[in-house]
Amino acid sequence: MAPRSSKKALTLCLFQSLAGVLFGWSNSEGSGLFNMDSYQRRFGTCDASGLCTLGTTRQSAITGLLSVGATIGAVGSGSVADRFGLRLTCLIFIFIYLIGAAIETSAMNTYGQICVARLLTGLGVGATSGLVPVFQAEAAPPRFRGLVTGSFQLCVTLGIWGVAITNWGMSSYAGDVSWRVPVGLQMAWAVLLLVGFVLSPESPRFLAKKGKWDHCRKNLANLRGLPMDHPDIEAEMVEVREATLKDQEQGDASYLECFSTKDRILWRTMIGIFVQIGQQITGINFFFSYGVQFAQTAGIDNSYIFQIILASVNVLFSFPGILAVDRAGRRPVLLIGGALMFTGQIVVGSVSKAYPDDKIAGDVLIAFTCLFVASFASSWGPVAWVVCGETFPIRLSSLCVTLGTGANWLFNLIIAFAAPQIQAIIGTGITFVWAGCLALSFTFAYFCIPETKGMSIEEVDALYLSHTAAWKSSNFRQSQASSQKLASEKAYARSTHREGDEGKSQQTSARTSAEGAMV
C-alpha cells in the first residue's frame, strides 16, 4: 500500500489518465461510423441510384485530421505550458476539445464541418496526451511512476473498448442516433477530465520556476497530502529550490535546446521520439481505426464483434503490462512484446493469404490478431509512455515529451492516410509491412533504450551522463552503489593511514624530546 504522502498524488495522477480515454475514443470512433448507413448518407457521396458510400479518401481525411490537430497540439502545448503552467494549459485545450466535439455531434450534411471538428478535437487530445505524462512523471513517487504513467495507456484501451461497444450497440439503429451517440459521448469524458484538472494543483516545479515559493510549498503539501511544515515537504522543497536555481543559471528552456548535444539531450530526445514512433508503426491503430474494414477484407462475417474482441483483449492485457513495467523492467517488456507482436503479424498475413475465405483460417486469423493486440497492450502500449515521460530532465521534460507525442501523432497521421490505400492494393498482406516495422522497433529497443526501473529522475540523468550501453544498463544502480562504497572505503583507508602517520610522527617527536632531555 502506498504511504499516506503518496495517495493524494496517485489519485490525481490516475484521474488525469482519463486523457487517455479521449485519445482512444477519438482515434477509434471512425472504424464503426464509416459503415453506418446514416453516416454514409450525410457525409459520403451518393450515385444516381441513391447508393451512398464513404470513400477511402474521405475516411483517411476524417481519421487523419484528428492526427493533424493532435500533432500541432502536442508540439505547440509544450511552450504554452512553460509559460502558463501544466494545469492551465490542459484546461484550455480540454475546452478546445469540447468545442470540436460539439461541432462534430451537431453536424448535419457538411463534410467540411466534420473536418473542422476533427481538427479541433485533435488539438485538445494532442495537447493533453503530451502534457499529462509530464505532470505524472513530476508528481508520482519513483516507485509508482511506471504504474501511473502506464495507466494513461490503460485509459487509451478503455476508450477504444468503449467506442467499439457503443458503435456495435448503435449499429442496429437506422437513424442519426446511430452515430451521434458515439460521437457525443466523448464530451462526457472531456467534462470529467476538465473537473479533474480543476481540482488538481498547479505543478509545484512550475511555480518554483516563476519564483512563487509560498504557493509552491502549498501545492506540494496539497499534492503529497501532508502539512506545509512537515519535514518531508521541507526536504522536497530544498530539492526543488536547488534544481530550480540550477535551471535558472542555464536560462529559459527552448525547443532548440532539446536538440543540444550537451548532457546527451539530443540522444534522449531521439529516444523519446523513436519510442513513440515505434509504438505507432506496430500497426495497432490500423486495427482500431480500420479494424472493421480489415475484418471485411479478411472475410470475417461480424466485423463489429471482431472489433469488440480486439478492444476487450486490449483492455484485459493492459493490466499485466502496467504491473510488469515496474517489476520486470522496461527493456524485457519491450523486447518480449515486440517479438510476440512480430509473430502475430507474420501468422495473420500468411494465413489470410494462403487460405482466403476459409472458416478455420478465419479463426486462426482472429486468434493471432488477438495475440498481437495482447502483446502490444502489455508492452509497447504502456511502456512507450513510461519511457518518454521519464527520459528527460525536469527542466526540458514538457518540451521533449511533447516532441515525442507529436511524433506519435504524426505517424498516426501518416498511417491514417496511407494504410487504407496500401490495404486496397495488397489486402491483408499489409500485416507484413507491420512485421517489418516491428523488426526495426525491436532492434531500436535493444540497442538504444536503457533500463530505468525504480530510478528517480536524477538517477536517470546520471545513467545517461555515464554513457552506459543500453544492454548493460540494468546493472547501473548496482555498479554505482559499488563505486560509491569503494570510494568510501578508499577515503576511510586514506584517513586511517593519515591518522597512523600522524601518530607515528608524534611518537618520534616524543622520543626525540625525551632523549634531548636525558642528554
pLDDT digits (tens, 9 = 90+) for 465-497: 898 998 888 888 776 756 555 555 555 455 555
What are all long-range contacts of 179-182, with beta carbons under 8 Å and residues at least 24 apart? 179/33, 179/36, 179/38, 179/39, 180/105, 182/29, 182/32, 182/33
What are all long-range contacts of 189-194, with beta carbons under 8 Å and residues at least 24 apart? 189/18, 189/21, 189/22, 189/25, 189/159, 190/22, 190/94, 190/97, 190/98, 190/101, 190/124, 191/98, 192/18, 193/16, 193/18, 193/19, 193/21, 193/22, 193/94, 193/128, 194/91, 194/94, 194/95, 194/98
Among residues 488, 365, 378, the alpha carbon closest in space to that of 427 is found at 365
Task: Among 5-9, 48-52, 94-98, 241-245, name the most confident range.
Answer: 94-98
Neighbours of 244 (CB within 10 A): 21
Angle at 57 between CA 53 and CA 61, to 5 degrees: 110
What whole-number distance in Å separates Cα of residue 328 and Cα of residue 326? 6
Among residues 189, 201, 139, 199, the alpha carbon closest in space to that of 18 is found at 189
Residue 302 scores a pLDDT above 80 = no
What whole-number distance in Å separates Cα of residue 519 and Cα of residue 516? 5
Longest dimension (CA), the chain: 132
Tell me the one-letter amino acid at 313. Answer: V
What cell numbers appear for 90 in the block? Answer: 490542459
Residue 5 scores a pLDDT above 50 = no
Which has more confidence, 22 or 413? 22
With 0-12 / 13-18 / 19 or more C-beta atoms within 10 angstroms meaning exposed / middle / buried, residue 89 is buried
What whole-number distance in Å separates Cα of residue 209 and Cα of residue 256? 19
- Per-residue pLDDT, averaged over 197-213, amounts to 85
Q: Is this structure's pTM higher than 0.95? A: no
DSSP secondary structure letter of residue 89 = H
Among residues 330, 389, 379, 361, the alpha carbon closest in space to that of 149 is found at 389
Interval 440-472: pLDDT, tens: 999 999 999 999 888 877 788 889 989 899 888
What whole-number distance in Å separates Cα of residue 66 and Cα of residue 60? 10
What whole-number distance in Å separates Cα of residue 126 and Cα of residue 131? 9
Query: Per-domain residue ranges for the chain?
Result: 10-200, 203-251, 260-474
- Per-residue pLDDT, averaged over 318-345, amounts to 90
Which has more confidence, 377 or 516? 377
Which has more confidence, 271 or 406? 271
Domain over 260-474 is classified CATH 1.20.1250.20: yes
Among residues 479, 483, 481, the alpha carbon closest in space to that of 491 is found at 483
- Per-residue pLDDT, averaged over 282-296, amounts to 73
- The predicted pLDDT at position 3 comes to 45
- Say if CB 103 and CB 120 are below 8 A apart: yes
Neighbours of 454 (CB within 10 A): 14
The answer to whether domain 10-200 and domain 260-474 are alike in fold is yes
Interval 246-280: pLDDT, tens: 777 777 778 889 999 988 999 999 999 999 999 99
Class of domain 10-200 as given by CATH? mainly alpha
Grouping H, G, I as helix, E, B as strand and the rest as coil, residue 179 is helix
- Say if CB 172 and CB 161 are below 8 A apart: no
Grouping H, G, I as helix, E, B as strand and the rest as coil, residue 328 is coil
Above pLDDT 90, what percent of the chain?
22
Distances (CA, A) of 141 to 148, 205, 330, 384, 407: 9, 15, 17, 19, 27
- Per-residue pLDDT, averaged over 65-88, amounts to 87
Residue 284 scores a pLDDT above 80 = yes
Helices vs. strands in the chain: H and E counts, helices first? 23, 2
Residue 506 scores a pLDDT above 60 = no
